[in-house]
Amino acid sequence: MTDSLAELQAAVDAFVDERDWVQFHAPKNLAMGVAVEAAEIMEHFLWCSTEASFALDERKRAEVADEIGDVLIFLLELGRALDIDIVAAARDKLVANREKYPVEKAKGRATKYVDFD
């Protein structure tokens, strides 16, 4: 897998700056953008069963990759607009999730932590 996110961030920033689009990139709009593109990923899975969702044909898989790319691009721009390091944010969240979902309670269960007994 591609490791460097900094290079991608720089490329996305340059793309936006060259087009003078920072004026449109308010966090509110970028948050909507993330959600719009997330829904476009989801649309590809609307009618398939959970099992079938693993086995996309090549065309569908390319389309899903395309939408995943869009989500990541918007997420990077949102992080930039709010000065949030998205990788650090995910890492912090993972730390919190380890607390909320200890292995002995969460193993093999899709229960939300608020419903643990």
Q: Which of 99, 103, 114, 117 binds a copy of itself (CB under 8 A)?
A: 103
Does residue 65 bind a copy of itself (CB under 8 A)? yes
Does residue 107 bind a copy of itself (CB under 8 A)? yes
Does residue 100 bind a copy of itself (CB under 8 A)? no
Calculate the CA dihedral of residues 64, 65, 66, 67 and round it to 10 degrees.
50
Q: Is the CB of 20 or the CB of 117 nearer to a copy of itself?
A: 20
CA atoms within 13 A on the CB side of 57: 2
Does residue 77 bind a copy of itself (CB under 8 A)? no
Q: Show the site string, 20-59: x = touches a copy of itself by CB under 8 A, - = not.
A: xx-xx-xxxx-xxxxxx-xxxxxxxxxxxxxx-xx-x---
Q: Is 34 within 8 Å of 81 (Cβ atoms)?
A: no
